[in-house]
Amino acid sequence: MTIAIEVRGVSKQFVLRHTRSIKEAFVWLMKGRKGDLSEKFHALADISLEVAQGETVALLGLNGSGKSTLLKHISGVMLPDSGSVRTRGRVAGLIEVGAGFHPDLSGRDNVYLNGAILGMTEEQIDERFESIIEFSEIGQFIDTEVKFYSSGMYLRLAFSVAVHTNPEVFLVDEILAVGDEPFQKKCLARIRELADAGTTLVVVSHDLDLVSTICDRGVLLDHGKIILDGPVDQVVARLRGAA
C-alpha cells in the first residue's frame, strides 16, 4: 500500500483578531500587553490520518468541525501550527468551483487561466481543451465573457476544467451540487471514473447519500478531532444518529 496523504499530529489554532490596525496594536503594547489582543480557538486538534493511493475518503461532520480546514492543509493553502502534512504526486483542489475565474474574461481565457492555476501546463490545456468544452456543454458561448453566463453555465465550465486536471490526489469541497440533474449525474460519473482510474479522492460534503455512493471510507470530525474512521456507511449512520 502506497500512502498518498499522510497527516501527522496536525493542530491548527485560529486567531479571532479583534484589531486590524497598527494603532490598536500599538495602544495594546503601550498598556503593557494587558488582556488578550486576540481570541483563539482550535480548528484542528492533533489530527493524524493516512490515506492510501486510490482510496476514496469522505470527511464528514457538522458545520465548524474542521473538515474544510483539514482539506486546506492537505492542499497546502494552510500550514499547520504543529505536526506535518505530506502528499505524494500532484494535488488539485476543487475547493470552490470557479475560484480564479475572472468575470471579464471569455470562457476560453478562463479555461486557460484556471487550468494553469490548478497546475496544468500549456500543452496539457491545449490537448484537453476540446474535451473540457464538450464536457461543460458550453458550446458556442466559449468566447463570451463569463459574466454573461448563467450560474449553471459558470459552474459547469469551472467543474469541467477541474476534472480535467488529472491530479494524483483530488480534493473536492462541497461542489457536487452543480448544474441540473443530468449534469450532476455526469459529474458523479466522471468522479467515479477518476476514482476507478486510481485517483485518490478526498470529499467534503453535507450530502450524506451522495458521499456514501462515491466514497468507501468515512472520517467523522467533531470540534477538530477525528471521532470515527471506518466504512462510509457506518460513519454516516453515526452522524445521522448524533444529529
Chain positions contacting another protein, by CB under 8 A: 3, 6, 14-15, 17, 20-22, 25, 53-54, 72-79, 84-89, 91, 93, 95-96, 99-100, 102, 104-105, 109, 112-113, 116-119, 121-122, 168, 198
- Please give the torsion angle defined by the CA atoms of residues 182, 183, 189 and 195, in that order, rounded to the nearest 10 degrees: -160
Whose Cβ is closer to another protein: residue 106's or residue 234's? 106
Rounded to the nearest whole angstrom, what is the least distance from the CB of residue 209 to another protein in the complex? 26
Cβ atoms of 179 and 155 within 8 Å: the answer is: yes
Whose Cβ is closer to another protein: residue 65's or residue 212's? 65
DSSP 67: H
Grid coordinates representing 113 are 487561466
What gap in Å lies between CA 113 and CA 157, rounded to an integer?
A: 12
Rounded to the nearest whole angstrom, what is the least distance from the CB of residue 41 to another protein in the complex? 12
Cβ atoms of 197 and 40 within 8 Å: the answer is: no
Residues 6+ apart with CB under 8 A from 237: none
What gap in Å lies between CA 234 and CA 228, rounded to an integer?
A: 9
Rounded to the nearest whole angstrom, what is the least distance from the CB of residue 156 to another protein in the complex? 19
What's the sign of the alpha-carbon dihedral 132, 137, 140, 143? negative
Rounded to the nearest whole angstrom, what is the least distance from the CB of residue 82 to another protein in the complex? 13
Rounded to the nearest whole angstrom, what is the least distance from the CB of residue 115 to another protein in the complex? 9
What gap in Å lies between CA 99 and CA 203, rounded to an integer?
A: 18
Whose Cβ is closer to another protein: residue 7's or residue 232's? 7
What gap in Å lies between CA 133 and CA 111, rounded to an integer?
A: 9
188: closest CA among 198, 178, 197?
A: 178
Whose Cβ is closer to another protein: residue 25's or residue 177's? 25
Cβ atoms of 49 and 226 within 8 Å: the answer is: yes
Rounded to the nearest whole angstrom, what is the least distance from the CB of residue 62 to another protein in the complex? 21
Whose Cβ is closer to another protein: residue 79's or residue 177's? 79
Whose Cβ is closer to another protein: residue 116's or residue 237's? 116
